[in-house]
Structures are given as structure tokens and as C-alpha cells.
Amino acid sequence: MVYIIIMSEIKQIERIIRILQRLSLGGEVTVNKLYDYFEKKVPKRTLQRDLVELSSANVPLVTKKGHGKEQVWYLDSNYLKFIPSTMGSQELLASYFLEKLGAVAKGTPLEKDILSLLDKSRQLISPELFEVMDDQRFGESLFAATYIGYVDYSSHSQTIEQAITAIKDCRVCNFKYKPTWKEKESEFDGNPYMILYHKGALYLVTHLPDYDNYVFLPIQRIVNIELTRENFARNPDFSLDKLREGRFGIFGHEDLKPEKVVLKFKKEVAEIVAEKNWHPTQRLTNNKDGSLTLEMKVVISDELRSWIGGWLDYVNVIKPNKLK
């Protein structure tokens, strides 16, 4: 008997939440509408009592006359809409897609936060999806992600956590950093602005006040990051897009000016090249022989050279001569 009472209370709680969700979205409800909404499985008298109980619980419900003797119920427009809307099937699928993309942060605090966020959001799944969810791991088999040449950040968890705190609190940091071109570590102070994901790796975008420029520090090459007691004033005009302007990717010395680059790709790869947006300034020209000419105005950098070299014999550099 106790078990039956508990099940009944759960059903009422579910009804109340779903009624509040409809009302919180600015909708108007009637007993007849709710009767149809609950697929005629809940008696009209029960739904009427639910609305009365909501009103008696100080939920600011307003009523007005509808058709005939029907009463229309809605929330006071000034009432704080604290009941979130439910998650639909497409949004649920999107959450699984984001979970797969979050694998880059595997073994770090970011992974735990991502999974926690997705778990909380999935608690908003509409009741209509419960049955589908129970049938199989809904969405798990629809998306996948593969990573080649990625960095395992599980051993850099503390660095990532410190970086996030520094960014959030605008704290000046003392860095010990191991560059690729030096045998010894470098030590310097910097102001962390953001964590950037680029080509399978995480970078800490950092402003160096001594040089008044921004650098991209690979997380895995940061030996130690120590938060000082000093705060920095974040530049309100900072823009990652502006910082990357003229660059092919993220690297390129600030003193270098963009140059016109012209590349001709053979017909075997022309369609593959044309499928992607490589740079905002790019111009594509389909040639009569099936080849493709790509023009763009970018800074000449090692990142650009590496990309061109990856096409092997399928690309010819037309301009500039320094890239040939």
C-alpha cells in the first residue's frame, strides 16, 4: 500500500513540473488542453485539482474566461520563469556529439566538467524520450570522433586548472616554459587570456607585457605556471580574430605583413581543396584542365609551409618565390 502511494506522488510531481514548464514558456493552458497533452490518461478533475494546488502554493497563476465556461490559466508575466524547458530529441543528439568532441580533454578537469554539464542537461529530457532512452543508449551509436596526432593532457591537469583560474581571476602568472628551439627552460611573466584548441592541441593565449604582444603557448610545454597575487587589467579590445588576422592558422610574427600567395592544385585534389575554407581572403578559380588555383593574402610562416608541404606533388607554388 505504501508503494502505491509513493508511485502516485511521483506521477503528480511529474504532472506539476510539466504543467509549470508549459506555463513558464508563456503558454496558456486549459483543463481540456492539458487533458489532450497528457494523452487523455489523466482525468480532467485531477488536472483541475493540480492547477488549484499550484495556485494555492503561491505560484502566481492568473485566470481568465475562455470559450463558454472554460477557464484559461497562465503565469503572471512578471513572474520569474524558474522552470527550464525540456530537452528535445535533436538537442539530446547534439549533446552526444559534444561529448565526443570533448574527448580532447580526456583525463583533465575539463573532461569532468563537460561530462557533468551534459549529465545535468540530460536531466531536462522530456518524458516522451524516457522510453527511447531506456531502449538503448540513445545517440551513442550516431556520432564518433577520431584523433590522430593529438596530445594526451591527462598529465597536464594541474596546468590547465591553474590556467583556467588565472584567466577567470585575471591573475598575472610566472611561467616556466620549454620552447622547442632551446635546450633550457625560459622563465617570464604573462597574462593568460584564453585556452585555444587548434589542430589537436590546446594553447594558452598569453599577453606578454614586457614585449606588449600575444603568444600561443602549447599547454604541454608549460613546465610550471604560478599565479602571483597581482591582477592585470584585461584589454577590452582583445580579439582572437584580430590577432589571427593575416595569419594562416595562429602562428606568424606580428611584424610580418601578409603577402599574396598563389597555389595551383592538380585536378586529383582540386575538389578536396575546394571543399574547405582555408582563409577569409581565399579566392578559388577552377581551371579548364581541372586544376584549381587558390589565392589568399597571408603571412609567410612555418605553419603555412607545413600545410603546403602536406600536399606533396599535388601543388605548385606560383607566388611568392620564397615559398618555392
Query: What CATH number is associated with residue 220?
Result: 2.30.30.100
Question: Which cell is 134 given?
Answer: 531506456
Q: How many residues does the chain have?
A: 324
Specify if 80 maps to a domain.
no
Specify if 229 maps to a domain.
yes
In the structure, what pLDDT confidence band is assigned to residue 196 with cuts at 50, 70 and 90?
very high
Same domain, 163 and 236: yes
Question: Residue 305, exposed/middle/buried by CB under 10 A (0-12, 13-18, 19+)?
Answer: middle
The alpha-carbon radius of gyration of the chain (Å, integer) is: 29
Specify if 250 maps to a domain.
no
Specify if 84 maps to a domain.
no
Same domain, 119 and 49: no
Specify if 266 maps to a domain.
yes
In the structure, what pLDDT confidence band is assigned to residue 275 with cuts at 50, 70 and 90?
very high
Specify if 277 maps to a domain.
yes
Same domain, 226 and 176: yes
User: Given this model, what pLDDT does residue 308 score?
Assistant: 96
- Residue tagged 509549470 (cell numbers): 20
In angstroms, the Cα distances linking 289 to 108, 264, 268 are 50, 11, 11
Same domain, 41 and 7: yes
Domain boundary among 213, 240, 267: 240
Lowest mean pLDDT across 118-127, 129-138, 198-207? 129-138
Do the beta carbons of residue 150 and residue 120 sit within 8 Å? no
Residue 203 structural domain: 155-240
Same domain, 185 and 225: yes
Do the beta carbons of residue 208 and residue 217 sit within 8 Å? no
Same domain, 38 and 99: no
User: Given this model, what pLDDT does residue 185 score?
Assistant: 93
Do the beta carbons of residue 273 and residue 265 sit within 8 Å? yes
Instruction: Report whether the peptide linkage leading into residue 280 is cis, meaning its omega lies within 30 degrees of zero.
Output: no
CATH number reported for the structural domain that contains residue 20 in this entry? 1.10.10.10
Question: Which cell is 269 given?
Answer: 585534389
Pairing, β 315-319 against β 259-265? antiparallel
Beta strands (DSSP E) in the chain are 61-65, 71-75, 171-177, 186-198, 201-208, 213-218, 222-231, 259-265, 283-286, 292-298, 315-319
Same domain, 175 and 217: yes
Mean pLDDT computed over 255-272: 94
Question: Between 90 and 60, whose confidence is greater?
Answer: 60
CATH number reported for the structural domain that contains residue 281 in this entry? 3.30.70
Domain boundary among 240, 274, 306: 240
Question: Between 218 and 113, whose confidence is greater?
Answer: 218
Q: What is the mean pLDDT of the chain?
A: 85
CA 21 centroid distance within chain: 26
CA 135 centroid distance within chain: 28
Specify if 146 maps to a domain.
no
| Cα 75 from Cα 23, distance rounded (Å) | 6
Please give the span between the terminal C-alpha atoms of the chain, in angstroms, as a whole number.
Answer: 85
User: How many CB atoms lie under 10 A from the CB of residue 187?
Assistant: 11
Q: How many domains does the chain have?
A: 4
In the structure, what pLDDT confidence band is assigned to residue 3 with cuts at 50, 70 and 90?
very low
Same domain, 220 and 161: yes
In the structure, what pLDDT confidence band is assigned to residue 26 with cuts at 50, 70 and 90?
low
Same domain, 166 and 236: yes
Q: pTM of whole model > 0.75?
A: no
Same domain, 62 and 95: no
In the structure, what pLDDT confidence band is assigned to residue 1 with cuts at 50, 70 and 90?
very low
In the structure, what pLDDT confidence band is assigned to residue 126 with cuts at 50, 70 and 90?
low
Instruction: Report whether the peptide linkage leading into residue 320 is cis, meaning its omega lies within 30 degrees of zero.
Output: yes
User: Given this model, what pLDDT does residue 229 score?
Assistant: 95
Specify if 222 maps to a domain.
yes
Do the beta carbons of residue 301 and residue 249 sit within 8 Å? yes
Same domain, 186 and 123: no
The single-letter DSSP state of residue 83 is: S
In the structure, what pLDDT confidence band is assigned to residue 2 with cuts at 50, 70 and 90?
very low
Mean pLDDT computed over 112-139: 66
Question: Which cell is 197 given?
Answer: 584548441
Phi, psi of 136 (to 5 degrees): -160, 175
- Whether residue 263 has pLDDT greater than 90: yes
Domain boundary among 186, 207, 240: 240
Cα-Cα-Cα-Cα dihedral of 242, 97, 20, 128, to 10°? 160
Same domain, 67 and 121: no
